[in-house]
Amino acid sequence: MAYTQIGVGAVANDNTGDPIRDAFIKVNDVLDALDLAYALSSTLVIGDDPANIGTPAGFESTISAADGSNDNITIAGDGSGDIIILPDTGEIVLDGLKWPQADGSADFVLVTDGAGQLSFVSQDLVVDTSPALGGDLDVGAFDIVSAGGLDITITPNGTGDIVLGTITIDADQTAGAGQLGHHLVADASGVMTLGVGTQSNDAALNSSSNAINTGAEKVQGYMVYNTDTDNPCWAVGSADADLWVDGAGSTVHSPS
């Protein structure tokens, strides 16, 4: 609150101080201001002149409800007026949370560092160069697609695998010239790894009496790697004379 000191003169009874009436007018002004500030239910009306209400330099100002009252503190603007809080060089702290001193970019959101400091961060994966999921990613009814014909790369860290539903793919293997003809095969634990699977050659695949055609494992879709052609082929059925075809469905072996 702003106040005017009572003039008491330079020394006692020098007749330079305020008259008694003027002095008590100043006292009443102070009492009225104190009564306004500490009333349990009151409205603080600030006029055009902000000098009407103030605090001496070097003191902190606090607006608080009376101890034990559990009353709300309401700050209400008039009509369409905004409520503006303008610290000088300090920060705005609301119930222990420090608010950012600058606005974020469009569509940024507020996050806390867990120590009471709020900041604006992007929720746009294009802007965020190191996004990290805090839970499962629900794509809803949408797909994960790449623009411009780009690849979609899934890279587990270290020896991590790729899990698709109930199928686990060993993702830290190398696929190159040394793995020519290799394909994904399941091991005893159900993990899909690069392997050569079953190998054979032209003569065996073309003979209906060879074990490759008479074995119990020859079923529709069964794949065999032909070491003569360095290409895989698939059985169209489980009978001894059923054909073997390539990836395009063209016949490559006719057992007889």
Q: How many other CB atoms sit within 10 Å of the CB of residue 179?
A: 13
Give tens-digit pLDDT for 194-203: 776 788 999 9
In this structure, what token pair is assigned to residue 171? 């993702």
- For 14, 15, 16, 17, 192, the CA distances from 11, given in Å and listed in that order, are 6, 9, 9, 9, 101
- For 16, 185, 224, 231, 252, the CA distances from 249, given in Å and listed in that order, are 117, 21, 14, 13, 9
8 Å CB contact between 193 and 173: yes
pTM over 0.85? The answer is: no
Give tens-digit pLDDT for 53-86: 444 444 456 677 766 677 788 887 778 888 888 8
The residue type found at 209 is S
Q: What is the pLDDT of residue 232?
A: 85
Give tens-digit pLDDT for 116-156: 999 998 877 777 778 888 899 898 999 999 988 899 999 99
Q: What is the pLDDT of residue 176?
A: 67
Percentages (nearest 5) of helix, strand, coil residues in the chain: 15, 15, 70
